[in-house]
Structures are given as C-alpha cells and as structure tokens.
C-alpha cells in the first residue's frame, strides 16, 4: 500500500518581500473611536497609521498581495493614532483557525505523562511524516488582546499553550506571524485522545494578537523567543521560556499538510504547537492573567474566566 505520508504537490511558501531598511512592520485591526473596524500598521514610533484613506479595509486582502509591504510604504500622510487610544481587535477576519500539535519535545513528553493509554500516539506522531493537525476555532470565536480566555467549568486541569501562529493567505503563503494561545483542558485530553476536540474547542479557547508581524522569514522567526508568564493577584505563579528554533518541523512542511486536499478561500491561521507546559501540579484559575511574549511580535495578554 502507498504511504499516505509521502510528500506530494506542496504549495511553495514565501514571505512578502521586505526591505531591510524598513522598520519591522506590524499590522493590526482596531476599532476606531466612532466604532468602525479599521486596519492599521505600527512602525517604530508606536503610532498606528490608519489605512482606511488608502482603501485598505481588510488585513487578509492586503496579505493576498505579494507587494503588500511596498504598497504600505507608498502610503504617506495618512492619519495616525496612539496605540493607547484604540481598541485592538483579533487579527483575524474570515480565516479558519487550525493548529498543529506535538511539534516540540516538551509537548510530546507532557502529553505522554498526562495520559495512560494514549502515550504511544504522541510518541509516534512526533516522529511520523504526517503531523497532528486539528481544527481550533471559527474566526468569530477568537478572543483578542486584553479580552478574556476561558477555562471549562467541567475541567479540573487547564493550561494556556503559547504558540507562534502563521497568517497564511489563500495561496498557502505565510504572509505574517502573530501570537496564539491554544487553551487546553489537560484532564479531558488525558482521559481519552478522542476527547481532544472537547479539551481544545469551547468558548474563548483561542486567543490571537495583538499584531501581525510582516516581512520576517522562517530564518528570522526561528531566532525569536517565546515567553509565558501567569500572574495571580500580583504574584507570578508560572514563568517559562522556549525558542521558535525548537519547532521540529519546517514551516513549509506544516503549511503544506494543512493545504493538502483542502482549500482556504479566505486564508488560514495555523498555531504551531507549544514548547512551554507548566508542571503537572499547575492549573489556571479564574482571575489569572496570561502574558505571552514573542520577541519579534509583541505581547498578547488575556485574563481568565470560567465558561
């Protein structure tokens, strides 16, 4: 029998051309003071340039274009607002959100420990040609920066999963990177692998934001660190750090499996797995504050509520 894991027509992955003399550029969606949804970019100044007068109203439409950054650079004399004066929205429009799992050794080990009889599944998938891929969220269910993520009321052991997220256009190109939180209920997942969708997909289980970093390629992204801090009543109760360099598979490999036999007319977001797992005695509680910092992008902060 032919292996279903052999590499077939892979979409080629490329990053929008970027000139090194430009400052790192980040895109965001935000709500204006009059309540409209707008698209902006943030340069070194920390000011948000509103792209509405340039006719740019959707991040995903901009990221379809190979010349998106050149287009942005042309935009001069556009109105600017201070970041503190706007409400940042999740950087997702009509894209489905997917995730890969067990891409870091730490994730494989933690899952083998939490589960009695699914341990070999995690062990096998870490080394298999085909990665674990799962659906995570509809775009309208994604929580943005400074909003609340959820822990299930029927779960006892809940953790955040801080992950680099790819923003992929409909042609399968990684057009940018953002920060993702793949909230998970470890007791539900550990009880039976078939409960994975319940452990991973529920109200407020996916956070993305605050920005989309454009113009960086895989080589640059692999130099970024990922840090997780969890605060409870002013005290830090967990801190952890990893590097994007620890992702076992290439970015092209991850995207090509997502796009096998599946089209994404609006593009897709892909969370790339967690390399930070708190110790087995740790669980989130309502009121905690989760901060995920990825050095090339920024910090995604969310409080925790029970759902």
Instruction: Summarize as ranges the residues that interact with ligand DO4 (CB under 6 A).
Output: 99, 101-102, 107, 111, 132, 161, 182, 196, 273-274
Pick from 295, 157, 291: nearest CA to 236:
291
Pick from 255, 252, 260, 258: nearest CA to 8:
260
Return the residue matching tokens 């003399």. Answer: 21
Residue nearer to ligand DO4 on the CB measure, 67 or 280: 280
What's the gap between Cα 32 and its chain centre? Answer: 24
CB of 161 to Mg ion, least distance (A): 4
**Beta strands at 148-151 and 298-306: parallel, antiparallel or unpaired:** parallel
Which CA distances in Å does 6 have to 72, 87, 133, 256, 262? 39, 45, 16, 12, 17
Residue 158 interacts, among Mg ion, ligand DO4, none and using kind-specific CB cut-offs from 5 to 8 Å, with none
Residue 256 interacts, among Mg ion, ligand DO4, none and using kind-specific CB cut-offs from 5 to 8 Å, with none
Residue nearer to ligand DO4 on the CB measure, 206 or 214: 206
Return the residue matching tokens 């992204």. Answer: 221
Residue nearer to ligand DO4 on the CB measure, 89 or 254: 254
Residue nearer to Mg ion on the CB measure, 38 or 186: 186
Q: Closest CB to Mg ion belongs to which residue?
A: 182
How far separated are the first and last CA of the chain, in Å rounded? 46
Residue nearer to ligand DO4 on the CB measure, 30 or 98: 98
Residue nearer to Mg ion on the CB measure, 93 or 182: 182
Evaluate whether 144 touches 87 at the Cβ level (below 8 Å). Answer: no
CB of 106 to ligand DO4, least distance (A): 9
Q: Which two tokens stand for residue 277?
A: 């797992």
CB of 280 to Mg ion, least distance (A): 17
Pick from 252, 251, 195, 259: nearest CA to 224:
251
Residue 96 interacts, among Mg ion, ligand DO4, none and using kind-specific CB cut-offs from 5 to 8 Å, with none
Q: Which two tokens stand for residue 1?
A: 């029998």
Q: Closest CB to ligand DO4 belongs to which residue?
A: 101
Residue 143 interacts, among ligand DO4, Mg ion, none and using kind-specific CB cut-offs from 5 to 8 Å, with none
For Mg ion, the binding residues (CB under 5 A) are 161, 182, 274
């Amino acid at each position: 029998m032919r292996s279903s894991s052999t590499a077939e027509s892979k979409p080629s992955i490329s990053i929008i051309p970027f000139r090194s003399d430009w400052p790192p550029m980040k895109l965001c969606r935000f709500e204006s003071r009059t309540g409209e949804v707008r698209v902006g970019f943030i340069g070194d100044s920390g000011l948000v340039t509103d792209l509405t007068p340039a006719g740019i109203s959707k991040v995903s439409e901009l990221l379809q274009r190979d010349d998106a950054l050149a287009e942005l650079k042309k935009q001069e004399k556009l109105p600017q607002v201070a970041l503190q004066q706007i409400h940042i929205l999740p950087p997702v429009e009509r894209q489905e959100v997917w995730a890969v799992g067990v891409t870091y050794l730490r994730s494989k080990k933690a899952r083998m420990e939490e589960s009695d009889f699914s341990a070999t599944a995690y062990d096998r998938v870490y080394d298999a040609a085909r990665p674990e891929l799962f659906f995570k969220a509809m775009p309208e269910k994604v929580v943005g920066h400074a909003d609340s993520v959820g822990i299930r009321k029927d779960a006892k052991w809940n953790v955040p999963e801080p992950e680099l997220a790819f923003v992929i256009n409909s042609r399968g190109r990684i057009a940018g990177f953002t920060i993702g939180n793949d909230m998970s209920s470890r007791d539900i997942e550990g009880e039976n692998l078939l409960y994975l969708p319940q452990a991973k997909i529920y109200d407020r289980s996916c956070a993305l934001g605050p920005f989309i970093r454009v113009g960086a390629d895989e080589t640059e992204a692999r130099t970024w660190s990922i840090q997780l801090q969890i605060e409870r009543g002013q005290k830090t109760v967990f801190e952890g750090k990893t590097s994007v360099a620890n992702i076992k598979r290439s970015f092209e490999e991850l995207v090509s499996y997502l796009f096998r036999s599946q089209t994404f007319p609006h593009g897709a977001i892909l969370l790339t797995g967690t390399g930070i797992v708190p110790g087995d005695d740790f669980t989130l509680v309502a009121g905690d504050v989760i901060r995920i910092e990825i050095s090339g992008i920024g910090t995604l902060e969310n409080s925790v509520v029970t759902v």
